[in-house]
């Protein structure tokens, strides 16, 4: 069985400050890891994913996440956030790149001016 724990339910931050959203997982098999973002009243959008290869993965809008196998973590970071980054972020794990996903509880990121 797999599980995902997002350590912070809410993260308030000021605009242009750095942010880290924490995600830990447990699994008895190899994992594929994902971060999804959900803007208010919208569906889920894939932000970035780790499938294999380099442990540092990046998104097109400045987010990055690092797969740390020894610490079973996949934390999401951004060096400077914008108001438009306000959303709920979900970490997810799967045993394949296309199979059923197990989600964390979500972290609401609120960026204040």
Residues between 12 and 51 with contacts to other proteins, criterion CB under 8 A: 34, 42-46, 49
Structure tokens at 80: 């400077």
Closer by beta carbon to other proteins, 12 or else 18: 12
Residue 7 in the binding site for other proteins (CB under 8 A): no
CA–CA separation, 50 and 82 (whole Å)? 24
Residues between 51 and 90 with contacts to other proteins, criterion CB under 8 A: 90
In the complex, minimum distance from the CB of residue 96 to other proteins, in angstroms, rounded to a whole number: 8
Within 13 Å and on the Cβ side, how many CA atoms surround 74? Answer: 29
CA angle 27, 45, 11 (to 5 degrees): 75
**Footprint of other proteins (CB under 8 A):** 4, 6, 9, 34, 42-46, 49, 90, 92, 96-106
């Amino acid at each position: 069985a797999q599980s995902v724990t997002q350590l912070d339910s809410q993260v308030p931050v000021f605009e242009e400050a750095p942010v880290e959203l924490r995600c830990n997982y447990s699994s008895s098999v190899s994992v594929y890891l994902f971060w999804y973002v959900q803007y208010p009243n919208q569906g889920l959008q894939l932000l970035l994913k780790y499938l294999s290869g380099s442990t540092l993965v990046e998104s097109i809008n400045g987010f990055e996440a690092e797969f740390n196998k020894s610490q079973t973590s996949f934390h999401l970071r951004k060096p400077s956030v914008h108001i438009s980054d306000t959303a709920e972020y979900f970490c997810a794990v799967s045993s394949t790149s296309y199979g059923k996903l197990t989600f964390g509880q979500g972290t609401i990121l609120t960026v204040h001016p």
